Structure 1
Amino acid sequence: GIAQAVRLQDQLGNKVDLAIYERASEVGGVWRDSTWPGTAVDVPIHLYCLYSHLNPGFSSKWAGRDEVLAYWKRIVRRHRLERSFTFDTEFVSSRWDSLAQQHTVTFRNVKSDETFDVVADVLIAATGALNKPIVPHVPGKDKFKGVQWHSSRWRNDVPLEGKRIAIVGSGSSGIQVIPNICAIPGIEIMQFIRSPGYYRPKHNFEYPLWKRLLFRIPGVLRLYRWTIFYEYDKAILSRGTGTWSSDLRESSAKGIIDYMKSQAPEKYWDAIIPKYPMHCKRVAYDAGWLASLQRDNVDLTTSPIVAVDETGILTADGRHHAVDYIAWATGFEVSETGVGLNKGVYGEDGKELRETWKAHGGAFGYLGVAVPGVPNYFAVLGPNAIAMSWGYSLGANVRPPSHSLSFSVLDSTPRPRS
């Protein structure tokens, strides 16, 4: 949302009347909400940040949550976007009026529960993809007498010293949490994972002062950013189907597996090392998780969770794992949130967008930002819009809506020529 607002402001200035509605009480998005121990980017920070707003002052290659949140807040202040925000307000629905050529958008104040309508010429969904945590429906989960939470809403008020905690999941948050809590005195960690994956090393380092000063010389930081792009381009090439790509993929996979074996105890190799080709699912970055499996107070199990009772977790192998806390590091709902607003969005035919997509077998659109049948509606993270880097995706996807505002009405629905 911030990226789109900046783009509109830079390109159109005061020609656009910008109104930003935010469900929370302050800016920050996923970096405001995600507070688990060790929260950090899993893309190098100079690749993650906006191309138009590079920051030579980042302290390390893989910046932590506080630094990233401060970066976005600084952009808001720099562009004086605070005056455009209405906080504590969530989207309810929108309807396109073909005669007026406008959207009537209904919002709800999350504190008072009151609803109100706003008429807009253009509606842009910049809702992000990682804002709706998933907690699986496990029988008996509500009976658990301990404390449980989703990793993205970490309970920093809960003491971990001398406690047994279950970490469910081995995605980005799960593997960041464990190395950051495993040294707490008396803690015992029981991790439950569903499937193995590829985990490449995350070699973090701090930028010395001289390098941060060097980055302030015009062109230097952009050149450095392109060197990081080159590293990622090699990874993208390994996703191809040709002989050269296959060889590169096999070589990369072997290097990752060798790294994983060098870090994790042999007793867990079958559990964490995949038998499927690399890139079948996202390759994650390991910042100490594999090495933490060497600790006596960290246990790993792959037996599926079948139930939760008052005191712990039951797995398919018949074992009962008594724990004080359960942290569900089980990801986010992205099938809907990852393609912008679609629930409650009604197009020119009166149909809800998500129902239109269901009728066609899935989400589709134009250039990843526009969707057919809903004129003057754009999604920053629309269908098939995510590239290798979040920062690059955001920078690219906020451009089409800005350019399109030179037209009075824009609709991406294919129509036969007369």
Structure 2
Amino acid sequence: MAPQRRIRVAIVGGGISGIAQAVRLQEALGDNKAEVTIYERSNEAGGVWRDSRWAGAAVDVPIHLYCLYSHLNPDFSSHWAGRDEVLAYWKRIVAKHRLGDRFIFKVEFVGSRWDSLSQTHTITFRRVESGETFEVEADVLISATGALNRPITPKVPGRDDFRGLQWHSSRWNTDVDLKGKKIAIVGNGSSGIQVIPNIADLEGIEIVQFVRSPGYFRPKHNFEYSRFQKLVFRYVPFALRLYRWKIYYDYDYTILSRGTGTFASDLREKLSQGVVDYMKKTMPDEYHEALIPKYPMHCKRVAYDGGWLASLNKPNVSLTASPITRVTPTGLETADGKQYDVDIIVWATGFEVSETGVGLNHNVFGEDGKELRATWKERQGAFGYRGIAAPNVPNYFIVLGPNAIAQNWGWTLGHNTEYIARLIRGMYDRKLCSIVVKASIMDSYNEFLGNRLAQTSLSSAECGTSWYKDPITGKIVAPAPWGA
């Protein structure tokens, strides 16, 4: 009997999702059962952590919860590890599992088409430097592009007329000396509030921040782990796992406050009041109206304040909630008629999630010959099965698919990559050519999901827009309604 051939797996994305998925496949199938290739747009692995070069870039999930449960690290220096330490952790995993030769760099995904006759995906890539396209054939296609892969820069009139420097926060220009500069930070999401306290004390710098909406900002009390703690984590059996479980439990308990029942509502009120009290105590009174929200907590992502609110008390830092109406050659103009002349504009305006952050879908064609994007649009936004599978596209998995994010990024990443690897191992063991979720199961699951979402604060009418939702229809497409 001829030996069974290896399953050819194409992973699109070489960030932490792609790395984690490659590790799980290696664990589940070894090298003799699967041929895994990772296609990455940049020239090195790391994804969002490779690109996040702004001052103060760090995790907003405690690092021992953010890392893979199968690759715990007793030597992390602090509770909220910084960008360099996080990136080094993931690169060590690449080296440990000898994944370096699995990468093909500087190529971007163009499209894929499922062939029912050959039971394979024909995938088209483009070489970033030359623009040349090429095709590969794979038995399984995995989208590991992550939720934060396409920066959003607002289409503000006059943006191209600005004579100074401008960039998105995720594409930080590290060659520019910020001393003595007037800087506009547009946005008050995670990157915007991380960078300000880390540059506010530079000599001669002036910062004005433009915010669009209020939010809940929890205190981010960082601390370093002592040498003794690290030794305990390393040598005392189960110590690090128990510590991680404690963090996990605290996070999952907080997720309970998303519900609409009496207990959940009371818990949310208690947590909300604590956060608002902290915000009022920490920032200047003049910014209370602009920054304290009136919507229920958790219907938008709660951010962590590592010194931003306190930095608003500094004489060289100011904030305005008046909408930007246009960019002038020398700065920004707002709806209240004020002109702000600046040297640099930083667009800390987040990422597009509903179209590209919940899995490859443009030019992804399934067994019905229809583009996945079109299928999603017909249903008012992205949908799938258990956060990993898409409708009508066999042998296609998404590490962070529609409504995948439960509790936090780290837990979801570890859970979903293992789930996908087990499915592919099942295909190999049972000699299956393809698997796809039945339409009736897909519909039943999404009806259940919708009912659960409706019972959470995520669906609150007071919430308005957020990256959790499809910007056109308002359908919730990113988070799951449950914790871990």
After TM superposition, is the score higher than 0.5?
yes
Where does structure 1 differ by over 6 angstroms across 4 or more consecutive aligned residues? none
Partner of 1:371: 390
CA contact (8 A) 1:188 1:297 kept: yes
Note if 1:140 corresponds to 2:155: no
Counterpart residue type for residue 414 of structure 1:
A
2:112 is equivalent to residue 94 of structure 1: yes
- Report 1:245-324 matches (<5 A): 245-324=264-343
**Aligned-pair CA distance for 1:288:** 0.1
Mapped pair 1:175 → 2:200:
no
Confirm or deny that 1:13 pairs with 2:38. Answer: no
Equivalence for 1:413: 438
Quick one: distance in 2 between partners of 1:155 and 1:207? 31
Gap regions ≥5 residues in structure 2: 1-17, 442-484
SS of the equivalent of 2:36 reads coil
Q: Identity over aligned residues, as a percent?
A: 67
How far the C-alpha of 1:218 sits from its partner, in A, is: 2.7
1:400 Cα offset (Å): 2.5
- Aligned mates of 1:2, 1:290 — CA distance in 2: 35
Which digits, 9 at most, give the CA deviation of each residue in 1:339-370, with x for residues without a partner? 11101110111111001111122111111111
Q: Distance in 1 between matches of 2:264 and 2:385?
A: 28
Alignment of 1:6-405 (within 5 A): 6-14=23-31, 15-216=33-234, 217-405=236-424
Shift of 1:324: 0.7
User: How big is the shift at 1:338?
Assistant: 1.8
Is the CA contact (8 Å cut-off) linking 2:364 and 2:371 kept in structure 1?
yes
Distance 1:414 1:270 in 2: 48
C-alpha separation between the residues in 1 aligned to 2:348 and 2:81? 21
**Residue identity matched to 1:155:** N
| AA in 2 matched with 1:359 | E
Q: Which amino acid aligns with 1:275?
A: K
What RMSD over aligned residues (CA atoms) do the two structures have, in Å?
A: 1.0
Q: Deviations over 1:160-213 (max 9, x none)?
A: 111110000000000000000000011000000011111110010000000011
- Distance of 2:180 and 2:107 partners within structure 1: 41
Shift of 1:75: 0.1
C-alpha distance in 1, partners of 2:334/2:369?
Answer: 47
Shift of 1:265: 0.9
The amino acid that maps onto 1:132 is R
| 1:415 CA displacement | 5.5
Q: 1:155 Cα deviation (Å)?
A: 1.2
Between Structure 1 and Structure 2, how many residues are aligned? 416
1:56 maps to a residue whose letter is P
2:448 counterpart residue number: none
Structure 2 distance, partners of 1:280, 1:21, is 35
Secondary structure in 1 matching 2:70 = helix
SS at match of 1:17: strand
Task: Report if the CA contact (8 A) 1:371-1:413 is conserved.
Answer: no
**TM-score, scaled to structure 2:** 0.85
Aligned equivalents of 1:125 and 1:373: distance in 2? 15
Is the 8 Å Cα contact of residues 43 and 62 (structure 1) preserved in structure 2?
Answer: yes
Deviation at 1:234, TM superposition (A): 2.1
Q: Residue 167 of structure 2: SS of its match in structure 1?
A: strand
- Say which is worse superposed, 61-70 or 230-239, in terms of deviation: 230-239
Per-residue CA distance 1:272-329 (angstroms, 9 max, x = gap): 1112221121111000000000000001000000001100100000010111110000
| 1:414 shift after superposition | 2.1
Q: Deviations over 1:114-156 (max 9, x none)?
A: 1111111111111111111100000001000000000111111
Aligned residues of 1:349 and 1:373 also touching (Cα < 8 A): yes
In structure 2, distance between residues paired with 1:414 and 1:307:
47
Hey, what's the Cα distance between the residues in 2 that align with 1:169 and 1:362? 25
Paired position in structure 1 for 2:466 = none
Conserved? CA contact 1:164–1:189, under 8 Å:
yes
User: What's the secondary structure of 1:127's corresponding residue?
Assistant: coil
The one-letter amino acid paired with 1:219 is F
Question: Partner of 1:339: helix, strand, or coil?
Answer: coil
356-365 or 324-333: bigger deviation: 356-365
Letter in 1 for 2:88: A
Aligned-partner Cα distance in 2 for 1:153–1:338: 17
Q: Please tell me the residue identity of whatever aligns with 1:266.
A: D
